[in-house]
Homo-oligomer: A and B are copies of this chain.
Amino acid sequence: MNFHQVAGVLRGMSERLPGYKGLALKVLLDVGAEIGDLMRITKGSVVFEGILIPRSEYSDDRHIVIKNRSGYNVGIEITPETRVERIGAEMKPTFIPPPPPEQKPGLPRVTILSTGGTIASRVDYRTGAVRPVISASDLYSIVPELADIAVIDAEILFSVFSEDLTPKHWSAMAEAVARHIVGGAQGVVIAHGTDTMGYSAAALSFALQSLPVPVILVGAQKSEDRPSSDAAMNLIGAVLAASKAPFAEVAVAMHETPSDESVVLHRGTKVRKCHTSRRDAFKTINAKPLARVMNNEIIMLTDDYKPRNPERKITLKANFDERAALIKFYPGMNPKIIDWHVSEGYRGIVLEGTGLGHVRRECFPAIRRAIESGVIVGMTSQCIWGRVNMNVYSNGRDLLAMGVIPLGDMLAETALVKMMWCLAQSSDPEEVKRLLLTNVADEFSSRSVETIEAPKTIVSS
């Protein structure tokens, strides 16, 4: 037995039933169940059927978790009236990919880098885990349309949920993109979990300068083996953009509306996930999106973009300094939160203030102390839309006078990423401040463009 198995036995867990303990373990052992078996669990008149999946080390001992036919995991509490049956042996995944179509010569070369997340994964029915499926032939098999668009080169960079990605992963992504572009890729697609795809898109926008070809991040809001997934359409849109879009920038490709009409390309510094589950969750904020993909055509939505130019040499500035924090202000916020960050050695703080860029006066002495100890403090707004203007009210003017840097219409998330990036570019605070206020990758809108969210209401009862 290895260490984990020993530890499992010590914690009363079965190797065949990882994560289960106590009552739940006993009930499952009684019926001879193993992970992957088809189970029927009856509570009064309610019947659950599905495949037994493992639990985590943090689980309680009262629930059994099965994956139902729709692919959702259901946790069922064991009560005295619960009946547990094993009705079938371990299920194998039913999907066997067809053989990949032949690659067509003469098409552009596009690299797909996989980082994890819903889009690049299939749920493994045996373990309940998300499993990356991204060899080039996997992709052609699952989305055969890709073979008509590009010759795909695929590489798994990592396989993590996007909330677990860190600035170090951003650097690795940027380096891999640069390597593939130098190697001749005519466009790069990055399959990415949607949770933090906006942050990564901003990071790559700063790290990859003087891009010769487009770099397109793409995600999915439902995993590819669920009914009505958006993964294939988003991926086709992303590969189309990578292979033939006229711009050479970092963008995010996702559904434009809840229907399957179009994929929209958002500029990497201006995009934000604005819905937990809808396909059109990503929105461009304070700007117009770059382009739309519809009927296999790319329609530019702005004239203001950096054109593709394969002759251009890429400049890689892939470092980020993690000693930067995002602090969202709220009424009554304790100023000691700011002092704590200073004492922990943070070099930059992005405040997500209220309205035009405010925090309570109680925080002013702590902000002043932070600035006096050399910490760069920037201001953004939790309103999301609009821009900070710290000249209107005296609280804002006082913050400006202390040296707080107003970050215009930059998204708070983009501002944090930019702070981490600027801090890694220079150790001179004046240079960091200058860079922060320089429009590096259209993170500041050059014109007054505003996106309104009109209150269209859908009632689905």
Tell me whether A398 is interfacial, beta carbon within 8 Å. Answer: yes
A381 to B332, Cβ gap below 8 A?
Answer: no
Tell me whether A60 is interfacial, beta carbon within 8 Å. Answer: yes
Which A residues, 297 to 333, have Cβ-Cβ distances below 8 Å to chain B? 322, 325-333
Contact with B along A346-365 (1 / 0, CB 8 A): 00000011111111111010
Residues of chain B contacted by A455 (CB below 8 angstroms): 256, 283-284, 289, 451
B458 to A384, Cβ gap below 8 A?
Answer: no
Tell me whether A82 is interfacial, beta carbon within 8 Å. Answer: no
A196 to B354, Cβ gap below 8 A?
Answer: yes
Copies of this chain in its oligomeric complex? 2
Tell me whether A47 is interfacial, beta carbon within 8 Å. Answer: no
A129-B394, A355-B194, A416-B330 known; A453-B452 Cβ under 8 A: yes
Residues of chain B contacted by A274 (CB below 8 angstroms): 383-385, 453
Tell me whether A128 is interfacial, beta carbon within 8 Å. Answer: yes
Residues of chain B contacted by A362 (CB below 8 angstroms): 164
Residue of chain B at shortest CB distance from A118:
B393
Determine which of B73, B325, B361 lies in contact with A164 in the assembled complex, contact meaning CB atoms within 8 Å: B361
A332 to B166, Cβ gap below 8 A?
Answer: yes
A453 to B450, Cβ gap below 8 A?
Answer: no
A383 to B457, Cβ gap below 8 A?
Answer: no
Count chain A residues whose beta carbon lies closer than 8 angstroms to a beta carbon of B.
Answer: 105
Contact with B along A325-344 (1 / 0, CB 8 A): 11111111110110010001
A398 to B449, Cβ gap below 8 A?
Answer: no
> CB within 8 Å of B: which residues of A?
55-56, 58-60, 65, 72-75, 128-130, 161-168, 170, 193-196, 199-200, 256, 258, 273-278, 280-281, 283-284, 288-289, 322, 325-334, 336-337, 340, 344, 352-362, 364, 368, 381-389, 391-395, 397-398, 401-402, 413, 416, 447-461
For this complex, 27 residue pairs linking A to B, each with C-beta atoms less than 8 Å apart, are A55-B401, A59-B401, A65-B397, A73-B392, A128-B394, A163-B329, A163-B360, A163-B395, A164-B360, A164-B395, A165-B331, A196-B354, A199-B331, A276-B355, A277-B389, A278-B450, A281-B383, A281-B386, A325-B330, A326-B328, A328-B352, A340-B340, A447-B461, A448-B461, A450-B460, A452-B457, A453-B453
17 further A-B contacts with Cβ under 8 Å, apart from A274-B453, A276-B388, are A58-B398, A73-B391, A129-B394, A130-B394, A163-B355, A163-B359, A164-B395, A276-B357, A278-B385, A280-B452, A337-B340, A449-B460, A452-B456, A452-B457, A452-B458, A453-B454, A454-B456
Sorted nearest first, the 8 A-B pairs with minimum C-beta distance are: A453-B453, A276-B386, A195-B354, A195-B355, A166-B332, A328-B328, A163-B358, A58-B401
